[in-house]
Amino acid sequence: MTVLEIIHYPDDRLKQESQEVELFDQELKDFVTDLEETRMAGPGAVGIAAPQVGCAKRLAIVDVSGLKKPVDNHGYLLMINPEITKWEGMEKGREGCLSVPDFTGNVIRAEKIKIRFQGLDAQWTEFETHGYEARAIQHEIDHLDGMLFLDRLVSRRTDLFQRKIYKK
Amino acid sequence: MKKWSLLTLVGADQPGIVSKVTQALAAVDCELGETSMMRMGCNFSMMLRVHHDGKDLPDLLKGVCSELKLHLHVDEDVDGACVDNEPDVNITVYGADRSGIVAEVTSTLADAGLNIIDLETALAGTTDKPIYIMTIEGQAKNGVDALTDAAKTISAAVEMNIVPIQTLRA
Protein backbone atom coordinates (compact mmCIF):
# COMPACT_ATOMS: atom_id res chain seq x y z
CA MET A 1 0.00 0.00 0.00
CA THR A 2 1.24 3.45 -0.91
CA VAL A 3 0.10 6.98 -0.28
CA LEU A 4 0.18 8.52 -3.75
CA GLU A 5 1.15 12.09 -4.50
CA ILE A 6 -1.82 14.43 -4.86
CA ILE A 7 -1.34 16.72 -7.82
CA HIS A 8 -2.34 20.35 -7.50
CA TYR A 9 -3.84 22.80 -9.94
CA PRO A 10 -2.38 24.25 -12.26
CA ASP A 11 -1.22 20.76 -13.22
CA ASP A 12 -2.78 20.20 -16.68
CA ARG A 13 -3.71 16.62 -15.84
CA LEU A 14 -6.53 17.93 -13.63
CA LYS A 15 -8.18 19.51 -16.67
CA GLN A 16 -8.17 16.40 -18.85
CA GLU A 17 -11.10 14.09 -19.44
CA SER A 18 -10.47 10.60 -18.02
CA GLN A 19 -10.90 7.35 -19.92
CA GLU A 20 -13.33 4.51 -19.18
CA VAL A 21 -11.95 1.65 -17.11
CA GLU A 22 -12.06 -1.52 -19.25
CA LEU A 23 -9.72 -3.93 -17.48
CA PHE A 24 -10.92 -5.11 -14.07
CA ASP A 25 -7.65 -6.73 -13.04
CA GLN A 26 -5.30 -6.96 -10.07
CA GLU A 27 -3.53 -3.78 -11.10
CA LEU A 28 -6.85 -1.93 -10.80
CA LYS A 29 -7.45 -3.44 -7.33
CA ASP A 30 -4.00 -2.37 -6.18
CA PHE A 31 -4.55 1.13 -7.49
CA VAL A 32 -7.89 1.40 -5.64
CA THR A 33 -6.17 0.34 -2.40
CA ASP A 34 -3.53 3.03 -2.85
CA LEU A 35 -6.13 5.64 -3.80
CA GLU A 36 -8.15 4.93 -0.65
CA GLU A 37 -5.03 5.13 1.48
CA THR A 38 -4.23 8.47 -0.16
CA ARG A 39 -7.75 9.74 0.61
CA MET A 40 -7.41 8.68 4.25
CA ALA A 41 -4.10 10.54 4.49
CA GLY A 42 -5.73 13.78 3.29
CA PRO A 43 -7.11 15.79 6.19
CA GLY A 44 -10.84 15.07 6.43
CA ALA A 45 -11.23 14.18 2.75
CA VAL A 46 -14.59 12.58 1.98
CA GLY A 47 -13.64 11.72 -1.58
CA ILE A 48 -10.85 11.35 -4.08
CA ALA A 49 -10.76 10.79 -7.84
CA ALA A 50 -8.08 9.05 -9.89
CA PRO A 51 -7.06 12.21 -11.80
CA GLN A 52 -6.07 13.80 -8.46
CA VAL A 53 -3.13 11.38 -8.35
CA GLY A 54 -2.39 11.86 -12.06
CA CYS A 55 -4.28 8.78 -13.31
CA ALA A 56 -6.74 9.56 -16.12
CA LYS A 57 -9.19 6.75 -15.37
CA ARG A 58 -12.90 7.09 -14.63
CA LEU A 59 -12.72 6.00 -11.03
CA ALA A 60 -13.41 7.73 -7.72
CA ILE A 61 -14.00 6.99 -4.06
CA VAL A 62 -16.56 8.72 -1.82
CA ASP A 63 -17.20 8.00 1.83
CA VAL A 64 -19.17 10.52 3.89
CA SER A 65 -19.98 8.07 6.69
CA GLY A 66 -17.35 9.40 9.09
CA LEU A 67 -18.40 13.05 9.47
CA LYS A 68 -18.61 14.66 12.90
CA LYS A 69 -22.09 15.89 11.99
CA PRO A 70 -23.55 12.72 10.45
CA VAL A 71 -25.34 12.86 7.09
CA ASP A 72 -27.37 10.30 5.13
CA ASN A 73 -24.96 8.03 3.31
CA HIS A 74 -24.30 4.72 1.57
CA GLY A 75 -20.98 4.10 3.31
CA TYR A 76 -17.78 3.54 1.37
CA LEU A 77 -18.37 3.93 -2.37
CA LEU A 78 -15.88 2.86 -4.98
CA MET A 79 -17.28 4.16 -8.24
CA ILE A 80 -15.82 2.88 -11.49
CA ASN A 81 -17.15 4.43 -14.72
CA PRO A 82 -19.78 6.37 -12.76
CA GLU A 83 -22.64 8.16 -14.47
CA ILE A 84 -25.26 10.45 -13.05
CA THR A 85 -28.55 9.57 -14.72
CA LYS A 86 -30.91 11.95 -12.92
CA TRP A 87 -30.60 15.35 -11.28
CA GLU A 88 -33.11 17.18 -9.11
CA GLY A 89 -33.14 20.45 -7.20
CA MET A 90 -30.29 22.86 -6.52
CA GLU A 91 -28.39 23.65 -3.37
CA LYS A 92 -25.48 25.92 -2.60
CA GLY A 93 -22.69 24.46 -0.50
CA ARG A 94 -19.11 25.15 0.40
CA GLU A 95 -16.39 22.98 -1.09
CA GLY A 96 -12.67 22.56 -0.93
CA CYS A 97 -10.40 20.21 -2.85
CA LEU A 98 -7.21 18.29 -2.11
CA SER A 99 -5.95 19.54 -5.47
CA VAL A 100 -6.62 23.21 -4.64
CA PRO A 101 -5.04 23.78 -1.22
CA ASP A 102 -6.06 26.67 1.07
CA PHE A 103 -9.24 27.71 -0.67
CA THR A 104 -12.91 26.94 -0.20
CA GLY A 105 -15.79 28.42 -2.14
CA ASN A 106 -19.49 28.18 -2.81
CA VAL A 107 -20.76 25.87 -5.53
CA ILE A 108 -24.29 25.03 -6.64
CA ARG A 109 -24.99 21.31 -7.09
CA ALA A 110 -28.02 19.16 -7.67
CA GLU A 111 -29.66 18.30 -4.36
CA LYS A 112 -30.73 14.80 -5.44
CA ILE A 113 -29.10 12.52 -7.99
CA LYS A 114 -29.38 9.02 -9.35
CA ILE A 115 -26.00 7.38 -9.83
CA ARG A 116 -24.84 4.20 -11.55
CA PHE A 117 -21.33 2.79 -11.45
CA GLN A 118 -19.32 -0.43 -11.58
CA GLY A 119 -17.48 -2.11 -8.75
CA LEU A 120 -14.20 -4.03 -8.84
CA ASP A 121 -16.17 -7.07 -10.06
CA ALA A 122 -17.46 -4.96 -12.99
CA GLN A 123 -21.06 -5.32 -11.73
CA TRP A 124 -23.28 -2.26 -12.00
CA THR A 125 -24.96 -0.64 -8.99
CA GLU A 126 -27.56 2.12 -9.17
CA PHE A 127 -29.23 4.19 -6.46
CA GLU A 128 -30.51 7.63 -5.58
CA THR A 129 -28.84 9.83 -3.05
CA HIS A 130 -29.14 13.41 -1.83
CA GLY A 131 -27.53 16.23 0.11
CA TYR A 132 -23.93 16.00 1.18
CA GLU A 133 -23.26 12.57 -0.34
CA ALA A 134 -24.75 13.67 -3.67
CA ARG A 135 -22.55 16.78 -3.55
CA ALA A 136 -19.41 14.72 -2.92
CA ILE A 137 -20.25 12.38 -5.82
CA GLN A 138 -20.82 15.33 -8.17
CA HIS A 139 -17.51 16.88 -7.07
CA GLU A 140 -15.66 13.63 -7.85
CA ILE A 141 -17.34 12.99 -11.20
CA ASP A 142 -16.37 16.52 -12.22
CA HIS A 143 -12.74 15.48 -11.73
CA LEU A 144 -13.27 12.65 -14.23
CA ASP A 145 -14.53 15.21 -16.75
CA GLY A 146 -11.57 17.55 -16.17
CA MET A 147 -13.59 19.99 -14.10
CA LEU A 148 -12.67 21.53 -10.75
CA PHE A 149 -15.01 23.15 -8.25
CA LEU A 150 -13.28 26.37 -9.30
CA ASP A 151 -15.12 26.00 -12.64
CA ARG A 152 -18.44 26.17 -10.79
CA LEU A 153 -17.78 28.87 -8.18
CA VAL A 154 -20.65 31.24 -7.58
CA SER A 155 -20.32 34.80 -6.37
CA ARG A 156 -20.45 35.42 -2.64
CA ARG A 157 -23.61 37.34 -3.36
CA THR A 158 -25.34 34.44 -5.07
CA ASP A 159 -27.68 33.09 -2.51
CA LEU A 160 -30.36 30.53 -3.00
CA PHE A 161 -32.82 30.85 -0.20
CA GLN A 162 -31.98 27.53 1.30
CA ARG A 163 -34.09 24.99 3.16
CA LYS A 164 -35.29 26.73 6.26
CA ILE A 165 -33.85 25.64 9.56
CA TYR A 166 -35.39 28.56 11.34
CA LYS A 167 -38.15 30.85 10.21
CA LYS A 168 -39.44 33.56 12.46
CA MET B 1 11.91 42.50 3.14
CA LYS B 2 8.41 42.43 1.67
CA LYS B 3 5.38 43.46 3.64
CA TRP B 4 1.60 43.57 3.31
CA SER B 5 -0.39 46.80 3.23
CA LEU B 6 -4.14 47.23 3.08
CA LEU B 7 -5.35 49.83 0.59
CA THR B 8 -8.82 51.36 0.62
CA LEU B 9 -9.92 53.42 -2.37
CA VAL B 10 -13.31 55.05 -2.84
CA GLY B 11 -14.67 57.36 -5.51
CA ALA B 12 -17.53 58.06 -7.89
CA ASP B 13 -18.02 55.02 -10.10
CA GLN B 14 -16.73 55.17 -13.64
CA PRO B 15 -15.31 52.65 -16.11
CA GLY B 16 -11.61 51.86 -15.70
CA ILE B 17 -11.08 52.27 -11.96
CA VAL B 18 -10.02 48.65 -11.33
CA SER B 19 -7.82 48.42 -14.40
CA LYS B 20 -6.01 51.72 -13.79
CA VAL B 21 -5.39 51.13 -10.08
CA THR B 22 -4.21 47.54 -10.55
CA GLN B 23 -2.03 48.46 -13.55
CA ALA B 24 -0.30 51.14 -11.46
CA LEU B 25 0.42 48.53 -8.78
CA ALA B 26 1.46 45.77 -11.20
CA ALA B 27 3.85 48.09 -13.03
CA VAL B 28 6.07 48.27 -9.94
CA ASP B 29 5.68 44.60 -8.91
CA CYS B 30 3.18 45.14 -6.12
CA GLU B 31 1.35 41.81 -5.78
CA LEU B 32 -2.31 41.51 -4.85
CA GLY B 33 -3.66 39.19 -2.18
CA GLU B 34 -7.33 39.15 -1.18
CA THR B 35 -9.34 42.02 -2.57
CA SER B 36 -12.90 43.20 -2.32
CA MET B 37 -14.24 45.58 -4.94
CA MET B 38 -17.82 46.63 -5.48
CA ARG B 39 -20.15 49.43 -6.39
CA MET B 40 -21.96 50.97 -3.46
CA GLY B 41 -24.64 53.39 -4.57
CA CYS B 42 -22.92 55.52 -7.22
CA ASN B 43 -19.51 55.02 -5.62
CA PHE B 44 -16.98 52.34 -6.31
CA SER B 45 -15.04 50.94 -3.36
CA MET B 46 -11.92 48.81 -3.37
CA MET B 47 -10.01 47.16 -0.57
CA LEU B 48 -6.82 45.38 -1.56
CA ARG B 49 -4.13 43.56 0.37
CA VAL B 50 -0.91 44.40 -1.42
CA HIS B 51 2.44 42.64 -1.04
CA HIS B 52 5.39 44.95 -1.79
CA ASP B 53 8.93 45.79 -0.86
CA GLY B 54 8.22 48.97 1.10
CA LYS B 55 6.96 51.14 -1.76
CA ASP B 56 5.50 54.58 -1.02
CA LEU B 57 1.99 53.54 -2.06
CA PRO B 58 0.27 56.95 -1.74
CA ASP B 59 2.98 58.47 -3.94
CA LEU B 60 2.73 55.59 -6.39
CA LEU B 61 -1.04 55.99 -6.75
CA LYS B 62 -1.09 59.80 -6.66
CA GLY B 63 -1.55 60.10 -10.41
CA VAL B 64 -4.33 57.58 -10.78
CA CYS B 65 -6.16 58.85 -7.66
CA SER B 66 -6.05 62.38 -9.00
CA GLU B 67 -7.23 61.34 -12.46
CA LEU B 68 -10.12 59.24 -11.13
CA LYS B 69 -10.85 61.40 -8.06
CA LEU B 70 -10.35 58.49 -5.65
CA HIS B 71 -9.78 58.78 -1.92
CA LEU B 72 -6.96 56.53 -0.75
CA HIS B 73 -6.23 55.21 2.71
CA VAL B 74 -3.33 52.89 3.54
CA ASP B 75 -3.07 50.61 6.58
CA GLU B 76 -0.06 48.55 7.40
CA ASP B 77 -1.32 44.98 7.59
CA VAL B 78 1.05 43.69 10.26
CA ASP B 79 -0.75 40.45 10.97
CA GLY B 80 -0.84 39.16 7.39
CA ALA B 81 -3.19 36.42 6.25
CA CYS B 82 -5.79 35.11 8.64
CA VAL B 83 -5.73 31.32 8.73
CA ASP B 84 -8.94 30.82 10.69
CA ASN B 85 -11.29 32.16 8.03
CA GLU B 86 -13.52 29.18 7.33
CA PRO B 87 -17.22 30.02 7.83
CA ASP B 88 -19.48 27.39 9.39
CA VAL B 89 -22.80 29.20 9.20
CA ASN B 90 -24.73 31.04 6.51
CA ILE B 91 -27.40 33.53 7.54
CA THR B 92 -29.86 35.39 5.36
CA VAL B 93 -32.10 38.13 6.69
CA TYR B 94 -34.71 40.10 4.83
CA GLY B 95 -37.72 42.22 5.58
CA ALA B 96 -39.45 45.56 5.17
CA ASP B 97 -36.77 48.20 5.48
CA ARG B 98 -36.50 50.17 8.72
CA SER B 99 -33.58 51.63 10.61
CA GLY B 100 -31.68 49.35 12.96
CA ILE B 101 -32.07 45.93 11.32
CA VAL B 102 -28.32 45.29 10.99
CA ALA B 103 -27.63 46.60 14.49
CA GLU B 104 -30.32 44.50 16.11
CA VAL B 105 -29.60 41.29 14.24
CA THR B 106 -25.82 41.44 14.52
CA SER B 107 -25.75 42.45 18.19
CA THR B 108 -28.09 39.61 19.11
CA LEU B 109 -26.07 37.10 17.10
CA ALA B 110 -22.73 38.44 18.37
CA ASP B 111 -23.93 37.85 21.93
CA ALA B 112 -24.72 34.26 20.89
CA GLY B 113 -21.19 33.72 19.59
CA LEU B 114 -21.28 34.82 15.95
CA ASN B 115 -18.03 36.01 14.43
CA ILE B 116 -18.85 37.63 11.08
CA ILE B 117 -16.45 36.86 8.23
CA ASP B 118 -18.45 38.28 5.38
CA LEU B 119 -21.55 40.45 5.44
CA GLU B 120 -23.33 42.16 2.59
CA THR B 121 -26.53 44.12 2.54
CA ALA B 122 -28.70 45.55 -0.17
CA LEU B 123 -31.76 47.74 -0.49
CA ALA B 124 -34.40 46.42 -2.86
CA GLY B 125 -38.14 46.65 -3.46
CA THR B 126 -39.92 49.83 -4.49
CA THR B 127 -39.36 53.37 -3.25
CA ASP B 128 -42.57 53.35 -1.24
CA LYS B 129 -42.09 49.80 0.04
CA PRO B 130 -38.35 49.20 0.34
CA ILE B 131 -37.00 45.91 1.62
CA TYR B 132 -33.65 45.22 3.22
CA ILE B 133 -31.63 42.10 2.45
CA MET B 134 -28.56 40.91 4.34
CA THR B 135 -26.37 37.86 3.83
CA ILE B 136 -23.80 36.77 6.38
CA GLU B 137 -21.15 34.09 6.44
CA GLY B 138 -19.53 33.58 9.81
CA GLN B 139 -18.30 31.31 12.53
CA ALA B 140 -20.73 30.14 15.21
CA LYS B 141 -18.32 30.04 18.15
CA ASN B 142 -21.04 28.65 20.45
CA GLY B 143 -22.62 26.43 17.80
CA VAL B 144 -25.37 27.08 15.26
CA ASP B 145 -28.13 26.13 17.73
CA ALA B 146 -27.11 29.04 19.95
CA LEU B 147 -27.65 31.40 17.01
CA THR B 148 -30.99 29.83 16.14
CA ASP B 149 -32.17 30.24 19.74
CA ALA B 150 -30.97 33.84 19.88
CA ALA B 151 -32.68 34.62 16.57
CA LYS B 152 -36.04 33.83 18.15
CA THR B 153 -35.62 36.83 20.44
CA ILE B 154 -35.24 39.31 17.60
CA SER B 155 -38.28 41.53 17.58
CA ALA B 156 -37.97 42.94 14.10
CA ALA B 157 -40.40 41.75 11.48
CA VAL B 158 -37.67 40.04 9.48
CA GLU B 159 -37.37 36.66 7.84
CA MET B 160 -34.25 34.89 8.93
CA ASN B 161 -32.63 31.67 7.75
CA ILE B 162 -29.71 30.19 9.64
CA VAL B 163 -28.08 27.25 7.86
CA PRO B 164 -24.95 25.40 8.97
CA ILE B 165 -22.16 25.22 6.40
CA GLN B 166 -20.58 21.79 6.26
CA THR B 167 -17.60 22.30 3.99
CA LEU B 168 -16.92 19.39 1.69
CA ARG B 169 -13.29 18.37 1.19
CA ALA B 170 -12.64 15.97 -1.58
- pLDDT tens for B125-164 read 999 999 999 999 999 999 999 999 999 998 767 889 999 9
Question: How close A56 gets to chain B, by Cα (Å)?
Answer: 17
pLDDT confidence bin for B29, thresholds 50/70/90 = very high
pLDDT tens across A49-108, in order?
999 999 999 999 999 999 989 999 999 999 999 999 999 999 989 999 999 998 899 999
CA A20, CA A8: separation in Å to the nearest integer?
23
pLDDT confidence bin for B84, thresholds 50/70/90 = confident
For residue A43, cis peptide bond before it (omega within 30 degrees of 0): no
pLDDT confidence bin for A135, thresholds 50/70/90 = very high
Q: Where are the beta strands (DSSP E) in chain B?
A: 3-12, 31-40, 43-52, 71-76, 89-96, 114-125, 130-140, 158-164, 168-169
- Which residues, 6+ apart, have CB-to-CB distance to A98 below 8 Å? A6, A42, A45, A48, A52, B169, B170
- Which residues, 6+ apart, have CB-to-CB distance to B134 below 8 Å? B91, B92, B93, B94, B101, B102, B105, B119, B120, B121, B122
**What stretches of A42-168 show up as alpha helix (H) in DSSP?**
131-144
Residues 1..40 of A with a Cβ closer than 8 Å to B: which?
none
Q: Which residue has the higher pLDDT, B158 or A33?
A: A33
Question: With contacts defined as CB-CB under 8 Å, which chain B residues touch A136?
Answer: 168, 170
Per-residue pLDDT, A156: 65
Domains of chain B are: 3-76 (3.30.70.260), 89-164 (3.30.70.260)
Report strand pairing: B158-164 vs B89-96.
Answer: antiparallel
On whether any CB of chain A is under 8 Å from the CB of B155, the answer is no
The overall average pLDDT reported for chain A is 93
* Phi and psi torsions of A43, nearest 5°: -65, 110
Question: With contacts defined as CB-CB under 8 Å, which chain A residues touch B87?
Answer: 94
B148: enclosing H helix or E strand: helix B144-151
A51: enclosing H helix or E strand: none
Per-residue pLDDT, B102: 94
Phi-psi region at A97: left, alpha or beta (left = phi > 0; alpha = psi -120 to 50): beta
A98/B167 CB distance under 8 A: no
CA B127 to centroid of chain Cα atoms: 26
Closest Cα in chain A to B166: A94
Question: With contacts defined as CB-CB under 8 Å, which chain A residues touch B160?
Answer: 166-168
CA A103, CA B49: separation in Å to the nearest integer?
17
Is the pLDDT score of A163 beyond 60? no
pLDDT confidence bin for B77, thresholds 50/70/90 = confident
Domains of chain A are: 12-162 (3.90.45.10)
Asked if B76 and B3 count as a contact pair (C-beta separation under 8 A), the reply is yes
Per-residue pLDDT, A63: 98
Is the pLDDT score of A14 beyond 50? yes
Phi-psi region at B29: left, alpha or beta (left = phi > 0; alpha = psi -120 to 50): left
Is the pLDDT score of A143 beyond 60? yes
Question: With contacts defined as CB-CB under 8 Å, which chain A residues touch B170?
Answer: 45-49, 62, 95-98, 136, 139-140
Closest Cα in chain B to A63: B170
CA B156, CA B105: separation in Å to the nearest integer?
9
CB nearest to B168's CB, from A95, A159, A168? A95
pLDDT confidence bin for A158, thresholds 50/70/90 = low
The overall average pLDDT reported for chain B is 93
- Which residues, 6+ apart, have CB-to-CB distance to A103 below 8 Å? A96
On whether any CB of chain A is under 8 Å from the CB of B164, the answer is yes
CA B130, CA B133: separation in Å to the nearest integer?
10
Q: For residue A36, indicate whether it is catalytic.
A: no
On whether any CB of chain B is under 8 Å from the CB of A48, the answer is yes
Per-residue pLDDT, A167: 43
On whether any CB of chain A is under 8 Å from the CB of B118, the answer is yes
Per-residue pLDDT, B60: 96
Question: With contacts defined as CB-CB under 8 Å, which chain B residues touch A68?
Answer: none
Per-residue pLDDT, B156: 62
Per-residue pLDDT, A160: 54
* Count of all residues that appear for chain A in the document: 168
